[in-house]
């Protein structure tokens, strides 16, 4: 039954014409259709911004640890502590790998992309690890 008070004398076609021209609720339907997309884009931007902030911190801590070890100011355990302490604000799990030979020191820090964001809305779709790696020559003794 038509809810538009078409009247019995006008017939069903007049009622349908009036129903098609009525725009009440159009904004609600548009909102319901667009909101999930806008929310996904917002959370994806939030995730990527946070991920790049964490990545910048990973690079900084990797450089600090590699420089400290190349100048013989840090031992391997101290370098690991510096990295873990410098990245503790993000509350993410990081793997630290330190390789040292006679001439060079290489420090790598990695974490999975899927655990790097705040909401992990978009980061979940990216596979693999985010790796920062710095190699420095050791200072002559």
What does the pLDDT look like over 15-25, one tens digit per residue?
A: 777 777 777 87
pLDDT given at position 78 = 95
Annotate 77-124 with DSSP letters as a single string.
HHHHHHHHHHTGGGT---EEEEEE-SSEEEEEEEEEGGGSSSS-TTGG
- Average pLDDT for 33-46: 91
Burial of 4 (0-12, 13-18, 19+ CB in 10 A): middle
Q: Give dist(CA 115, CA 137) in Å, integer.
A: 32
For residue 118, pLDDT over 90 is answered with no
pLDDT given at position 56 = 94
- Average pLDDT for 5-15: 64
50-88: pLDDT as tens digits: 888 999 999 999 999 999 999 999 999 999 999 999 999
pLDDT given at position 132 = 94
Q: Tell me how crowded residue 65 is: count the other CB atoms within 10 A of its CB.
A: 27
Q: Give dist(CA 72, CA 57) in Å, integer.
A: 22
Using a pLDDT cut of 70, give the percent of the chain over it. Answer: 91
Q: Are 101 and 132 in contact (CB under 8 A)?
A: no
- Average pLDDT for 81-107: 92
pTM above 0.85, yes or no: no
């Amino acid at each position: 039954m038509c809810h538009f008070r078409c009247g019995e004398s006008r017939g069903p076609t007049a009622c349908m014409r009036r129903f098609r021209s009525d725009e009440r609720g159009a904004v609600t339907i548009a909102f319901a259709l667009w909101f999930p997309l806008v929310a996904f884009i917002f959370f994806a931007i939030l995730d990527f911004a946070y991920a790049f902030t964490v990545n910048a911190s990973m690079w900084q801590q990797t450089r600090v640890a590699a420089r400290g070890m190349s100048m013989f100011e840090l031992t391997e355990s101290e370098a690991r502590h510096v990295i873990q302490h410098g990245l503790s604000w993000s509350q993410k799990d990081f793997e630290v790998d330190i390789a040292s030979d006679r001439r060079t020191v290489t420090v790598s820090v990695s974490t999975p992309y899927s655990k790097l964001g705040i909401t992990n809305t978009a980061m979940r779709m990216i596979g693999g690890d985010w790796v920062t790696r710095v190699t420095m020559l050791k200072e002559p003794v």
